Amino acid sequence: MDTHPLAPWRGLVARAQHRNRSKRHTRYLQLATVRPDGTPANRTVVFRGFVDERNDLRMVTDRRSQKIDDLAHQPWAEACWYFTKTREQFRLRGPVRVVTASVADEAAKALRDQAWQALSQSGQAAFLGPCPGDARQEAALREAAGAHAEQAPDTFCLLLLHPWQVDHLELRPTPQARTVFARHEDGTWTQEAVNP
Amino acid sequence: MDTHPLAPWRGLVARAQHRNRSKRHTRYLQLATVRPDGTPANRTVVFRGFVDERNDLRMVTDRRSQKIDDLAHQPWAEACWYFTKTREQFRLRGPVRVVTASVADEAAKALRDQAWQALSQSGQAAFLGPCPGDARQEAALREAAGAHAEQAPDTFCLLLLHPWQVDHLELRPTPQARTVFARHEDGTWTQEAVNP
């Protein structure tokens, strides 16, 4: 994976994270995908930081979750990240790379391992339990709650969202402020102030 | 529009709204749609209450906004509603009806008028300004900020999301609790506890 200069919206995200750091839910964003049937899906996921020296957002998910099927059919996703204290929103859209246990690329493999090690015990436990969305298996869930694994299990996937467009909206000022950032093929970015 | 009995998840939403009422952002949810190019879109919208005696979620939007194009191609949407205080999430999916100025149905027309009257002055002003997403028109935005209109302008649309499936996830308990509610053709609902 080649490196890229930090995009011009990165400073705005960093500022929002800092100003909203007192709120635990600042780490949560909503990730929209398209289901194989062509309808949209949307769920809250935890933001696990940017990849060093890149503009890619890291998230993790279970290989057995619906979003893996969704991304296999339509790799593009759009994350909606609303910061409640400063009342600003980022919409980040682009393709998502799914890094599974069978990844060949050494750099991606290392990122996946790193993401596993960074999880809390309860975060890891979720990947060691029964299949998400299946009829509830109470005993298996309780057993998994105490489980841990040194190495990432096959169920563990790292998601890398690579934004091609970022839409930043600030609700506080009147009129509201909205800026759209667009990435070009050569990796450069342009930005435009637009009507909210 | 015929009436329906309240769905079994309505009590859970009401409880979440009540318990999180101290947070202004409890009114905000993220609405995912599919763009005409087949990629997903996601943005924060304000929940404007349920339609009386129905399970439909009310939202409003500008006819010139991207989501109107999205819904014309794919009427299904999925709302993701995360409650930060109680740490629970509702995912509500189903078709969205767009109620425009030219609606013939009297009941829907009345709902649209009602939604317009319920907006604050600044909420109304957004519909009286320049086209969302166009290059920023500072003077027009400032002029619109003070505008108001007795009757809903043509730009004003009411959105009615009619859920067919609701996925409720509670992060607090260990193991987490997740229940999926599904609507059937006859209007009845079934529910199932599933693995988180």
- Classify the complex by whether its ipTM is higher than 0.85, answering yes or no: yes
Give yes or no for a contact between A50 and A58, defined as CB atoms under 8 angstroms apart: yes
Q: What is the pLDDT of residues B112-160, one digit of tens each?
A: 999 999 999 999 999 999 999 999 999 999 999 989 899 999 999 999 9
At residue A5, the pLDDT reads 79
Cα A40 to Cα A52: distance, rounded to the nearest angstrom: 30
Q: What is the pLDDT of residues B81-99, one digit of tens each?
A: 999 999 999 999 999 999 9
- B181 has pLDDT over 60: yes
Q: Give how far B107 is from chain A: nearest CA, Å.
A: 28
- B164 has pLDDT over 60: yes
- A4 has pLDDT over 80: no
Mean pLDDT of A156-183: 97
Nearest beta carbon to residue A39 from set B34, B129, B192: B34
Q: Which amino acid is at A166?
A: V
pLDDT, chain B, mean: 96
Cα A146 to Cα B40: distance, rounded to the nearest angstrom: 37
At residue A117, the pLDDT reads 97
Interface of B with A in 70-99 (CB under 8 A): 74, 76-80, 82, 84, 89, 91, 93
Nearest beta carbon to residue A194 from set B28, B41, B133: B133
DSSP A112: H
Check the CA dihedral A81-A79-A114-A145 and report its sign.
positive
Cα A87 to Cα A114: distance, rounded to the nearest angstrom: 32
A87: left (phi over 0), alpha (psi -120 to 50) or beta: left
Return the bridge partners of B45, or none: B29
With CB atoms and an 8 Å threshold, state whether B77 touches A23: no
Interface of A with B in 4-33 (CB under 8 A): 23-25, 28, 30-33
Nearest beta carbon to residue B136 from set A25, A134, A193: A193
How confident is residue B2, by pLDDT bands cut at 50, 70 and 90?
low
Q: Tell me which H or E stretch contains A56.
A: none
Mean pLDDT of A113-142: 96
- A21 has pLDDT over 90: yes
Q: What is the pLDDT of residues B12-30, one digit of tens each?
A: 999 999 999 999 999 999 9
At residue A2, the pLDDT reads 53
With CB atoms and an 8 Å threshold, state whether B39 touches A78: yes
Give yes or no for a contact between B96 and B51, defined as CB atoms under 8 angstroms apart: no
Give me the residue label for tokens 């339509």: A74
At residue A97, the pLDDT reads 98
Give me the residue label for tokens 């990947």: A127
Nearest beta carbon to residue B132 from set A130, A132, A196: A196
B contacts of A133 (beta carbons < 8 Å): 180, 194-195
At residue B45, the pLDDT reads 98
At residue B148, the pLDDT reads 87
> Which of B146 and A40 is assigned the larger pLDDT?
A40
Question: How many beta carbons lie within 10 A of that of residue B162, not counting itself?
Answer: 21
Q: What is the pLDDT of residues A107-126, one digit of tens each?
A: 999 999 999 999 999 999 99
- Best to test chain B binding among A30, A65, A86 (most B CBs inside 10 Å): A30
